[in-house]
């Protein structure tokens, strides 16, 4: 009996179960031998640390943190660090695996890693967040580095967090090591174009997908779930290209204008009020229903498990461009496939961020920095080539885009391992 038919709700929304299911499907189609499957299926290293921190009121609290390196076969592990109350080891494992496949899909010389700390950032002061970050960095110090594992920002972390990590690591090394993290401030070795990179990558692959539907941007209606760094940047860049962004859904509500939202105005409204709600040039709609409205392109750009077996059959978009990691469950995959939705999977769609992170790492190691124009041009070259690689693989093997992306990634990582051999 198919796993899709028997999966419990817990299995469906468990990101590690989703990652494992998609891995197994791609491995079977590639006819990977059992030994290679065992090597690729499990993380190479998992680290759990307990982080004692003195809070502002003098109390001591202990936070739990994780760092998982899924694979270093093609280069150093690469992946973000998130601060959230619902961080779990299974989530970090899945995200690390997705980073392995993402880096392989865009063919950059990194493996996959991910980290997280269980905490509620909104309830912590900046000083408390700094102490958590620095102690977490000290605990994982021996496991990260420019040639070993290169963290980056993720949910509830930012360029300031990366600056603290870089400084802490550098103090232990006794010299400045800018290449230990990416997503840093420009003043500390960050890269031009990095804040827009993930959203820009989503726009680039969407433009490629539009060619298959004979659509022009000005005739394309877009709905975006999430208005943070990825969703907000995608909305801004796509509007400038002529796309009509008709709805934005956020954690506290959604706004809709069939003629297209004024994205710059909406950003200013949120800066002033702290929410997208109450925007005078749009009507408010239910945040769960917003992603089910009629559109040409849907971009889930926030968290995992947004599209599941409970709503996938009501998705009305022609193109699903996954700006977030794991927004679609493996059970929903088959429903979308039956509906003929053109899915641009997360490990391709949101790879613009890690691609420009790669550029940042290269620039730091060279000590020579590029113009934003050069970065954007090279990002477009890689994203377009990777889109064509995935869709070509899909056509060649008669599978959907997600399965093709996983097959392509597994094939590249497996070939690297075969070339290297197994040290014994």
Q: Which residues are catalytic?
A: 114
Q: Give the list of residues 6+ apart from residue 71 with CB closer than 8 angstroms, or none.
A: 40, 43, 44, 77, 100, 111, 112, 413
- 92 close to 114: Cβ distance less than 8 angstroms: yes
Burial 54-93, CB ≥16 within 10 A → b, else e: eeeeeeeeebbbbbbbbbbbbbbbbbbbbbbeebbeebbb
Q: What is the rounded distance in angstroms from the CA atom of residue 342 to the CA atom of residue 340?
A: 6
- Spatial distance between the Cα atoms of 148 and 320, rounded to a whole number of angstroms: 34
Kindly compute the dihedral angle of the four CA atoms of residues 288, 289, 290, 293, in this order, to the nearest 10 degrees: 150
Quick one: which of 150, 193, 240, 228 has its CA closest to 352? 193
The tokens describing 260, both together, are 């297209």
Residue 35's CB is within 10 A of a number of other CB atoms, namely 10
Closest CA to 62 of 165, 150, 131, 111: 131
């Amino acid at each position: 009996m198919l796993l899709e038919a028997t999966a419990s709700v817990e299995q469906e929304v468990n990101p590690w179960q989703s990652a494992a299911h998609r891995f197994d499907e791609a491995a079977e189609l590639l006819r990977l031998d059992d030994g290679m499957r065992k090597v690729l299926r499990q993380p190479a290293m998992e680290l759990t640390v307990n982080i004692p921190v003195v809070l502002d009121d003098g109390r001591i609290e202990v936070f739990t943190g994780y760092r998982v390196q899924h694979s270093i076969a093609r280069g150093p592990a690469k992946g973000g660090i998130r601060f959230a109350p619902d961080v779990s080891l299974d989530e970090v494992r899945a995200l690390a695996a997705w980073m392995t496949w993402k880096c392989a899909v865009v063919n950059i010389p990194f493996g996959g890693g991910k980290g997280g700390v269980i905490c509620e950032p909104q309830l912590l002061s900046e000083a408390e967040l700094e102490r958590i970050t620095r102690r977490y960095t000290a605990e994982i110090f021996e496991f990260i580095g420019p040639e070993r594992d290169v963290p980056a920002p993720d949910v509830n972390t930012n360029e300031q967090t990366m600056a603290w990590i870089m400084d802490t690591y550098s103090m232990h090394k006794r010299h400045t090591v800018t290449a230990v993290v990416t997503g840093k401030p420009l003043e500390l070795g960050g890269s031009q174009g990095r804040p827009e990179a993930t959203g820009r990558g989503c726009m680039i692959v969407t433009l490629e997908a539009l060619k298959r539907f004979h659509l022009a941007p000005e005739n394309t209606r877009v709905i975006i779930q999430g208005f943070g760094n990825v969703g907000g940047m995608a909305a801004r860049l796509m509007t400038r290209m002529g796309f009509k962004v008709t709805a934005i859904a956020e954690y506290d509500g959604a706004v809709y204008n069939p003629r297209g939202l004024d994205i710059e105005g909406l950003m200013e409204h949120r800066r002033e009020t702290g929410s997208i709600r109450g925007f005078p040039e749009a009507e408010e709609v239910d945040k769960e229903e917003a992603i089910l409205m009629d559109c040409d392109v849907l971009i889930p750009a926030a968290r995992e498990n947004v599209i599941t077996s409970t709503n996938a059959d009501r998705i009305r978009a022609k193109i699903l461009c996954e700006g977030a990691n794991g927004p679609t469950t493996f059970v929903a995959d088959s429903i979308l496939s039956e509906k003929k939705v053109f899915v641009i999977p997360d490990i391709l769609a949101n790879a613009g961020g890690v691609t420009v992170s790669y550029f940042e790492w290269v620039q730091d190691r060279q000590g020579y920095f590029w113009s934003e124009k050069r970065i954007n041009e090279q990002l477009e070259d890689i994203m377009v080539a990777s889109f064509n690689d995935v869709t070509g693989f899909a056509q060649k093997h008669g599978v959907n885009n997600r399965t093709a992306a996983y097959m392509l990634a597994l094939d590249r990582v497996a070939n690297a391992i075969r070339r290297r051999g197994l040290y014994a």
